Amino acid sequence: MARIIFHIDMNSFFVSCEVAENPELYGKNVAVAPNASSRKSIILAASYQAKAKGVKTTMHINEALRVCPDLILVESKHHLYSEYSRKFFSYFLSITPLVEPASIDEGYLDVTDLCKNENPIDLAVRIQKEILEKFSLPCSIGIAPNKFLAKMASDMKKPLGITILRKREIKDKMWILPIGDLQGVGKKTVPLLKELKINTIGDLANFKNIKMLEETIGKNVAHSLIAHANGEGSSIVDVNRFNDAQSVSNSTTFDADEYDVDKVKVTLKALTHSVCNRLEKTNVKAMTFTVQIKYNNFKMYSKSKTLDTPINDFEKVYLQIEDLFDDLHDLPFGIRLVGVGASKLKPFKEKQKQLTIFDSFDENEKDIQINKLIRQINEELGSELLKIGVDKKSK
């Protein structure tokens, strides 16, 4: 039997939390900013009333006040938003144990078994009503047979929307949308697709020259996006999403909001070194690599890429990581956390690298000896204290 998946997305979450704490803000032009007293700060979230006046997320405060002079600015309170997130996720778990968090303000629920005794629309209405009554948080709910379509559906009507998106309806409801609205299409991919005259999701779903598409955006990405454009996606709600034993990952949280991309990439290099060292230590290679970014608005984004052959060599892995980061990062928010992950692990036997006429034997041998020495020292220490450094001045 087809699964019934809900994607529940809180509407203007930060503003909704502020209104819940101060009902006098209800129905007014409200915006949340990390430094509300600074005109150079940016808007993290805006009420729908403010959005109707032209206030947008990531807009500078001085510009927001220009389009909406009576805008009420509220200082962001991340501890408050985390507490409300904990509350509504606890509520989700009281509905069903099959809950997969997607970010601080959204998650997937598998309600297939519940809908044996309750109509999916009635269940969605009940959940939406109870979240509003218990926590004063409006939300939109997408209902579909897989997570991808459920996510697309929840974005179609806000605030307080409930949208069903069946596979037989994607032609009328989804194919008409611009290609940039397709989940998984990054900022670097949009112009590449438009060069192929792929302007809508329907254009991609019906694109015939698969070989050209593969050559333009890569084989795995091409097939993944075509599958999504045709409504395909996973129906598995992963309750252990952040505890996958079949993966290796590492992340770090910055002491302060980080806006310097070069500094973030230095950190990504260090994280990639750590992940590659762990792959080598356990004699495995990975086929799928993931970059995760958490911004100071508490939104978490991730992007993955699967290769045709597994690798664990730092230089090769970092090329994939940097490319994923460049495609994923396009928001002006400060970055709070970055993470690097490797999955789809494959065992291998360590062997000497085959040199080509383009390799320098001395440099290659030096890298091999350095890596061996680091592993030996770490094994004696019983830790991973010694790691390869990253030159901050390096381009």
Over residues 162-217, the pLDDT tens digits come to 999 999 999 999 999 999 999 889 888 999 999 999 999 999 999 999 999 999 99
Q: Do the beta carbons of residue 267 and residue 250 sit within 8 Å?
A: no
CA 367 – CA 388 distance, rounded (Å): 11
Tokens of 249: 């990952």
**Across the strands, what pairs with 350?**
none
What is the pLDDT at residue 394? 47
User: CATH code for 172-229?
Assistant: 1.10.150.20
Indicate the class that CATH gives domain 247-349. alpha beta
Structure tokens given for 195: 């060069």
pTM over 0.85? The answer is no
Record the tokens describing residue 215, joined without a space.
């050559």
Handedness of CA 66, 72, 77, 83 (dihedral sign): negative
Low-confidence ranges of the chain (pLDDT < 70): 1, 241-246, 349-369, 371-372, 375-376, 378-385, 387-395
| 106 is a catalytic site residue | yes
pLDDT at position 194: 96
Query: For residues 288 and 317, what is the distance between their CA atoms, to the nearest angstrom?
Result: 10
Query: What pLDDT, on the 0 to 100 scale, is given for residue 352?
Result: 47
| pLDDT number for residue 264 | 93
DSSP 304: E
Locate 140 and state its tokens: 């939109």
Domain ranges of the chain: 172-229, 247-349
For residues 92 and 106, give the distance between their C-alpha atoms in angstroms, rounded to a whole number: 11
Query: Residue 336, SS3?
Result: strand
pLDDT at position 244 is 47
The pLDDT of residue 356 is: 54
pLDDT tens by residue, 62-115: 999 999 999 999 999 988 998 999 999 999 999 999 999 988 899 999 999 999
The catalytic residue among 106, 130, 214, 363 is 106
Q: What per-residue confidence (pLDDT) applies to 368?
A: 59
Query: How many secondary structure helices (H) and strands (E) does the chain include?
Result: 14, 12
